[in-house]
Amino acid sequence: MIDVALRNVFRQRVRSFLTVLGIAIGIGLILSLGAIGEGLNRQIEQQFGDIAGVIGVYYVGDEDEGIDENAIDGMKDIEGVESVVPVGEYSITQRRIKGGFMSRMKGGGGSLSFTGIYPEDLKYLVGENIIAEDGRKIEESDSGDYVVLLGASLSERQGLNIGDEIEYERKEDDDSTESFYFDVVGVLEETGDSEVDDVAFVPLTTMQELEDDYSIKHLKVKMTDVGLVEEITEEINDYSDDLKAFSALEILRSLQETLGTLQMAVYGIGAISILVGGIGIINTMFMSVMERKREIGIMKAIGATTTDILVQVLEESAFLSLIGGAIGLALGFGASSLITRYTTFNTVITPELVFIAVIFSLFLGVGAGLYPAWSASRLDPIEVLRYE
Amino acid sequence: MSDGEIRCVGLVKTYNPGQPNEFRALGGVDLTISLGEYASIVGPSGSGKSTLLNLMSCLDSPTRGSVYIEGVDINSLNGIRKARLRREKLGFVFQQFNLINSMTSFENIELPMRFMGLSRREREKRVDDLLFLMGLEDKGGNRPSELSGGQQQRIAIARALANNPQIILADEPTGNLDTKTGSSIMGLLLRLNREEGKTLVMVTHDERIAGKADREIHIRDGLIV
């Protein structure tokens, strides 16, 4: 009887079209808003994904001695810790390249600083497979030398290449400065991780000698498993009051939580919109049933069962809803691609979103059709044929 | 019990029982209609003729008493089995034709077969045969509103015969037709009774039509007289 159901839907074209439109807008809304949410989620995951498995440990004690060796060794022994890398951050107040002067914000980049590391730890921060696209990486033999290895983005943004020099100014006790020039020996290939691409790596030993400060104030603790990050962060914080461990995973979680709440609100708005569409279906189907009372009575008189009538009306409402769902999908896809093209949001329509939209529209159609279908199936043919 | 037999035992139908507007339409009817018989039910308006026909067709339930079709008490059947009985054993012809206006003649005739679950091929063949039998083979694609009263009633009779039922129940089938067309429809129904052996129960006001029946059942104030 599907053909009969389809024909009944098209009997009142304008009414059916408006009903379908209500559903389509609801589904389109839920799809495009969901796509924005999913896009944001992916963006955040991408940005934080690479650093989520790294715990930053900072020395917050009063003394200048920094993190002691025993604490570092203790952290290395924690199960799940892959590496503990001492890091020193040294800001550069001005940079000169071969006598030229660079603006701090040239190319839209932020402040520039040297990240001092022991060259043997480079593999933990950058990864074994990342190569120096130009020149070479820094090596153990570079300890004490004035050499710098640049991340790809930093190199591009600042226009720095192999053979260039970066000036580091050491502040003296009398507020005068002394300049030291670091040779750019290599530029790393792009990794997509801002913790590598935007960094200038120098040998930590060089910086410690230069500043005459051998204390370690900052560690990067890398995990074998991201799932252990929170537990180990807590363990390190409990180890000493002078240490403050902090993970990007916390920010990621907090952002995802906020985004999740936002997404729920968005889905709520979509759901209300679809609910309104569902009420539209109930109204349409109910009117349709009322207009066709006589027809339904005749069908029952000549042998249609209650189920036959119920199914036919449900087919009609499911059909309305599915057409609405299909148009809604098209609207959702269209709106999402427009949003991606003309705004800064990256939208992502996942198969799950499409599945939800289709299932939602089907359930809506059947659900909204239930009461009108039940009313139709309960019609008494004698009464209907006598009075209609 | 033989095929096609209808038996009413102590049939009482009271509308609005216990209410101030209580009305007894049938006051205890005992009646047996045999296989292949043409019985006409005659009586004035409000005498209970249509009520009796509605009870025989299990569209309505009696207040008391029973209707047996082929030996089965139809009141003991659930809704689905009643519907199955209506589409398999009984064919209805109404005074108002009761065709579905949004459907073509072809679709109206095939409707009971759809409820039966017959295949499209079976339905098409049967509808073509019935249209030919009714002399309306060129009207299959027309909607009821495009047909004359007589043609509509022929389509309604074809629909009643769709599932080849043994019993045809007709409620004033010529009531809305002119004399000539009415005679033609009566001829068709009589032919079904005489040539194909269908049991025909017809409610009518028309004494002339009733006179052609094997048996006239006169009903007055809800009782057979």
Q: Is residue B63 part of a domain?
A: no
| 3-state DSSP assignment of residue A282 | helix
Do the bridges between strand A132-135 and strand A147-150 make them parallel or antiparallel, or are there none, so unpaired?
Answer: unpaired
pLDDT, tens digit (0-9, with 9 covering 90-100), for B106-118 = 999 999 999 988 9
Dist. CA A298–CA A250, nearest whole Å: 67
B77 close to A (CB below 8 A): no
Q: What does the pLDDT read at residue B52?
A: 93
Contact A187, A162 (CB under 8 A): yes
pLDDT-wise least confident of A19-28, B10-19, B176-185: B176-185
| Domain range for B121 | 37-47+80-224
CA distance B98 to chain A (A): 6
B179: pLDDT strictly greater than 50:
yes
Q: What does the pLDDT read at residue A226?
A: 74
The CATH number of whichever domain residue B149 belongs to comes to 3.40.50.300
Q: Is residue B23 part of a domain?
A: no
Which of B54, B87, B101 lies closest to A302 in CB terms? B87
* Mean pLDDT estimate for chain A: 83
Contact B171, B50 (CB under 8 A): yes
Q: What does the pLDDT read at residue A49?
A: 65
* Mean pLDDT estimate for chain B: 89
Q: What does the pLDDT read at residue A93?
A: 59
DSSP element (H, E) containing B29: strand B23-33
A237 close to B (CB below 8 A): no
Kindly provide the residue ranges of all beta strands, DSSP E only, lying in A61-176, ordered along the sequence.
81-91, 96-97, 100-101, 113-117, 132-135, 147-150, 165-171
Q: Is residue B72 part of a domain?
A: no
| 3-state DSSP assignment of residue B74 | helix
Dist. CA B211–CA B48, nearest whole Å: 20
**pTM metric for this prediction:** 0.67
Which of B92, B101, B102 lies closest to A301 in CB terms? B92
Q: What does the pLDDT read at residue A111?
A: 56
Residue with tokens 């130009």, as numbered in its chain: A134
pLDDT, tens digit (0-9, with 9 covering 90-100), for A149-207 = 999 888 888 888 888 888 888 888 888 888 888 889 999 988 877 778 888 999 999 99
Q: B56 falls in which pLDDT band (50, 70, 90)?
A: very high
pLDDT, tens digit (0-9, with 9 covering 90-100), for A270-286 = 888 888 888 888 888 88
Do the bridges between strand A113-117 and strand A200-203 make them parallel or antiparallel, or are there none, so unpaired?
Answer: parallel
> Which segments in chain A show pLDDT lower than 50?
94, 98-110
Which residue type is seen at B168? I
Q: Is residue B143 part of a domain?
A: yes
B64: pLDDT strictly greater than 70:
yes
Number of folded domains that form chain B: 1
B105 phi and psi angles, rounded to 5 deg: -55, -45
Q: Is residue B207 part of a domain?
A: yes
pLDDT (mean) for B138-148:
93
Check CB contact under 8 Å for A385 and B86: no
Q: Is residue B196 part of a domain?
A: yes
Q: What does the pLDDT read at residue B59?
A: 87
| 3-state DSSP assignment of residue B167 | strand
Q: Determine which of B13, B15, B45, B54 to mutate to test the interface with A (most A C-beta atoms within 10 Å).
A: B54
Dist. CA A245–CA A233, nearest whole Å: 6
Dist. CA A121–CA A123, nearest whole Å: 5
A345 phi and psi angles, rounded to 5 deg: -75, 135
| 3-state DSSP assignment of residue B66 | strand
B38: pLDDT strictly greater than 70:
yes
Dist. CA B13–CA A29, nearest whole Å: 57
B66: pLDDT strictly greater than 70:
yes
Considering only CB atoms, which chain A residues are within 8 Å of B84?
Answer: 303, 305
B87 close to A (CB below 8 A): yes
B217: pLDDT strictly greater than 90:
yes
